[in-house]
Each structure stands twice: as structure tokens, then as C-alpha cells.
Amino acid sequence: MALYNLTHAQCQMMDAIWQLETPEQMRDFKDALLYSEQLMFETLVQMLLEDTLESQTLDKTSLAKIMLTNIGVKCM
């Protein structure tokens, strides 16, 4: 997973987010932030979710192509 062009503050926030292990910890962490920091937190979490979904989709697409090729379907 890679996110590019983050500011120093965003990198620090990401470091903190990676330390959180449960939804409760995420909620408590977010609740302790200033409003502007909460917005940054929500944006970064959304970026992580989107990157994860994109990776999963690419993995499934690759698997589908392999399966189709194995049964004789030509994929482009």
C-alpha cells in the first residue's frame, strides 16, 4: 500500500492510525482530535479503504484472467 504526496502532518497522522488496532481505538483517537484533524483523519482512512479495495479488485481480476485462460478463454 502506498499513498503519495502526503504532507508531514498527514504522515504523522498515518503513523498514529497504523498503531490503532480496534474500531474503538480509532473512534477514541478521532474523538480526541480537533475538528480539522478529524477531517484529515477521515480523509486518510477513506484513502486507505479505497486503496485496499482497489488492490483487492486487481487481485480478483488477475485471478479471473488466470481461471479463464485455464479453461481456454483468450483474455486481452
Per residue in 31-63, pLDDT (tens digit) is: 999 999 999 999 999 998 887 777 666 666 676
4: Cβ–Cβ under 8 A, 6 or more apart, which residues?
none
Task: Find where cell 504526496 sits.
Answer: 5
Per residue in 10-32, pLDDT (tens digit) is: 999 999 999 999 999 999 999 99
Q: Which pLDDT score, from 0 to 100, does residue 68 have?
A: 74
CB 40 within 8 A of CB 9: yes
Tell me the three cell numbers of residue 69.
485462460
Q: Which pLDDT score, from 0 to 100, does residue 17 have?
A: 94
Greatest alpha-carbon pair distance for the chain in Å reads: 57
> What is the pTM for the complete model shown?
0.68
